[in-house]
Amino acid sequence: MVLETQRLILREMTLQDNDDLLEVFSDPEVMQFYPRSFDRPMTQRWIERNIQRYAQHGFGLWAIVLKSGKLIGDCGLVMQQVDDLEAVEIGYHIRRDLWGQGLATEAAQACRDYGFNQLGFDQLISLINPANAASRRVAEKNSMRLIKETAWREQPTCVYAVERSPRQTKRA
């Protein structure tokens, strides 16, 4: 387990999570701002990429599991290159039937605090399609502000960011 919040556990994803993650990523509404929704092999590659990230950086997108036991999405930290900036992004995806209950916000705030307090990052960002109003709102509730709009992976993209406050010191 990486993180615990009031309702959620965030833990590293494994290849055994393919069925549950496929439920999230095969939904065209969840994937409306991505080139396409995922099939089973694409979901497996998504998991493998995150397993590589855990090994390379010590973080990645983690599985979000309700304390009742069900895996409902992912949220975590990912290295990204945006224009000339290398930055750590907070990303999130939640199963559609559970939207609007504050779950993405709860997970994203925990990842923000982990990134600042445990990993010692000075700034965290989120990269969001301008039309993705729900995701922009989650970024705002995660204390982020819009710092610029740019083209990222050839798509118009809002760059949201939050800085570590002086009181959030890195723990050794």
Q: How many H helices and E strands in the chain? A: 4, 8
Q: Based on CB atoms, which residue is closest to ligand COA, 54 or 152?
A: 152
Does 131 sit near ligand COA (CB under 6 A)? Answer: no
Span of 15-23, 78-86, 117-125, 134-142 interacting with ligand COA by CB under 6 A:
134-142
Candidates 80, 105, 117, 150; binder of ligand COA (CB under 6 A) is 105
Does 104 sit near ligand COA (CB under 6 A)? Answer: yes
| H-helix segments, 5-62 | 18-25, 40-57
Q: Based on CB atoms, which residue is closest to ligand COA, 42 or 171?
A: 42
CB of 7 to ligand COA, least distance (A): 11
Does 100 sit near ligand COA (CB under 6 A)? Answer: yes
Does 13 sit near ligand COA (CB under 6 A)? Answer: no
Element (H, E) at 103: helix 103-117
- Which bin fits 170, alpha (ψ -120 to 50), beta or left (φ > 0)? beta
Query: Tokens representing 138?
Result: 């989650």
Candidates 101, 155, 156, 170; binder of ligand COA (CB under 6 A) is 101
Span of 11-19, 59-67, 95-103, 114-122 interacting with ligand COA by CB under 6 A:
95-103
SS3 state at 55: helix
Element (H, E) at 36: none
Closest by CA position to 90, among listed 51, 130, 121, 52: 121
Closest by CA position to 24, among listed 95, 89, 77: 95
Span of 15-23, 58-66, 99-107, 146-154 interacting with ligand COA by CB under 6 A:
99-107
Q: Based on CB atoms, which residue is closest to ligand COA, 102 or 120?
A: 102
DSSP calls for 106-134: HHHHHHHHHHHHTS--SEEEEEE-TT-HH
Residues that bind ligand COA (CB under 6 A): 30, 33, 92-94, 99-105, 128, 132-135, 137-138
